[in-house]
Structure 1
């Protein structure tokens, strides 16, 4: 008698150190589903795989040594039906984050909903064109680099601001399908840079950690409140520039 064992893919996700872009391994993270420990399998490419769970919304808990705990809401209505896939960014704990290699930007701002940062010179790719109807982004990619992350910033270095977007599909090393329309006033020379994510809390507390990798110390911060989105440039070697208020 033949025995068939079938598996249903419930979720695929990667865990990234948002400050260094390093992919975490299975031995580094404990996973929870609505507070209960769950097993997982990690595949090549760093993806954790959950199988044979119902595709119902749940809270994915992540407890990794050296990182702040995360309780991530998984909403299947926002994911692909064939391949529900996520990239989750983890923030190093303050105790494990070497102050000589980076900075922590922390404080309280009532109403803050999100906080992120990008380097004006953080990438080797630049925008060449954008089709707003098809949401197709054409890039100048002289080194044929692969966009290994999901979330990127279209940086306006003249106005110290950036627009976040995520990559849905790589059509080629020069053509990408993205998730949203981009501002119409961009220039073909604007750089594309990986985004570093911070954390915000219900009480208005926020935390962002950035590594000093040498070179220019300039970063652009972007945060959202009930009043809208704001950006300002900071020098990570000058803590007095870290205030969250429009420039």
Structure 2
């Protein structure tokens, strides 16, 4: 980053800033333009990749997910580096080194993320529910699918602490929805999603829809309101334990 600004260097200190996370980074550094007819390649920024990888390795060793930095570099080379590490009081910024929302109360959540569904004691499976018909239909649509075993379904229930509805068990008995079963092929996965009419998580990745598993940045979540229409079949909430 210093070298990229070297041609503009003068008597005034040079200032640079950036952000590096486990899965990405944002550095104010211009990238070279590839010659006409050739696409941009990783070799074009190999020095940047190597530098970022060294930082990411160090972050992994100390268990840090994200770090932002700024530096003031004097013309003499003397440098003052400031690091903004993770904090429960500050969310990281989006694509820049500056902090995001300041959280005044640790572990607090925006109102929509705190709201639980209203109790509905009369809720029960629809009269049209037909697990046997569902299984026949799914097997017709997905004749080559690999289904979950009863042991795998029971393991998921034990991990979640809830009993899965019978229709959901039928779904996973037909397809356990593991990427390796699809050969890590997006087209095959899309075929499964089209057959079941949703983007399906594998039986191993099922999770309870709660605030902790449906995180949203404060700056976005605090601007949301939860409203359930009178004729809605499902309450509009961020999550529901056991849903």
Same-fold status (TM-score > 0.5): no
Looking at both structures, which has the greater relative contact order when contacts are Cα pairs under 8 Å and sequence separation is at least 6?
1
TM range (shorter): under 0.3
Flag the structure with higher helix content.
2
What TM-score does the superposition give when structure 1 sets the normalisation length?
0.23
